[in-house]
Amino acid sequence: MKSQQNQFNRYFQNSIGFVMLLSFIIFAITPIEGWHASFQEKDFTVALIVLEAIFSLMILTALGKAGASKSVLMIIGTVFILWFAIAFVLLSQGFYANSDMPQLTFVMGVVIPIVLGYLAKQFWQPLAKAVDAMSTKSFLLLQFMRAAFGIMFFFTAALPVWFQYTGGLGDILAGFGAYLGLYVLSKNPSEERQAIVIGNLIGILDFIVVLSLGVIVVLQDHLADMMFLMIPLYVVPLFILLHIFSLQRLGKIGQQIETKITA
């Protein structure tokens, strides 16, 4: 068991190093006036779909390790596929661009999955049980994937350069915030509450800034590349739900501490 844990730690450290290397390359090759990678649209689309699929599988794996049954995982996986397909079809058919109020319609496309995901956790007991059983480490590992999606900001020419910096660097910093939370947790497991706060703070602030700028400024002029918009329509709600469920652990930990004191 210990050797497996050590192997996992090495794998995770290598993953951290790889993302940090990619981030350093982005910083090094991006001049102040902006830079656009030579990714073709097809390459970017494939890379983004693969990354989104990996992230979805990571969530299913975390839920499985937390005790979710195969049938529950199959249901959630099916929901992920349908959700992705519906968002893709709506974008490809110009649903948001042709709406009378594209900004409001797009916001609803982000908010509705968050509300449905939260309600599913509240009223579907198998999901609630699995999510409540997920460890803080699992949440932070998933939230670290923000850095990978942040890197994708710099490989599309469909966004204003200033928004590439704001969104891309913000997501990378959010991923590193999750890493700092993991570091605090690994050094002192009793500091779980501090690890949760550290691991979520930057990510939440980044979403507040980027989503506000994206809706108020960017979408006012045009809709970005169709595949890139799959990030706010599919990936962002998942990350926000992870933040919500991770922060809910603060209350649970507080109850555990009170129980130990009164016992």
Q: Quick one: three-class SS letters along the chain?
A: CHHHHHHHHHHHHHHHHHHHHHHHHHHHHCCCCCCCCCCCHHHHHHHHHHHHHHHHHHHHHHHHHCCCCHHHHHHHHHHHHHHHHHHHHHHHCCCCCCCCCHHHHHHHHHHHHHHHHHHHHHHCHHHHHHHHHCCHHHHHHHHCCHHHHHHHHHHCCCCCHHHHHHHHHHHHHHHHHHHHHHHHHHHCHHHHHHHHHHHHHHHHHHHHHHHHHHHHHHHHHCCCCCCCCHHHHHHHHHHHHHHHHHHHHHHHHHHHHHHHHHC
Q: What is the mean pLDDT of residues 63-89?
A: 94
Which pTM does this prediction carry? 0.82
Q: Could you report the per-residue pLDDT of 193-245, keeping only the tens digit for each?
A: 999 999 999 999 999 988 877 666 556 555 555 677 888 899 999 999 999 99
Q: What is the mean pLDDT of residues 39-52?
A: 77
Asked if residue 31 has pLDDT above 90, the reply is no
- Report residue 261's pLDDT band, with 50, 70 and 90 as the boundaries: low
Check whether 13 has a pLDDT greater than 70.
Answer: no
Residue 219 confidence (pLDDT): 60
The pLDDT, as a whole number, for residue 222 is 54
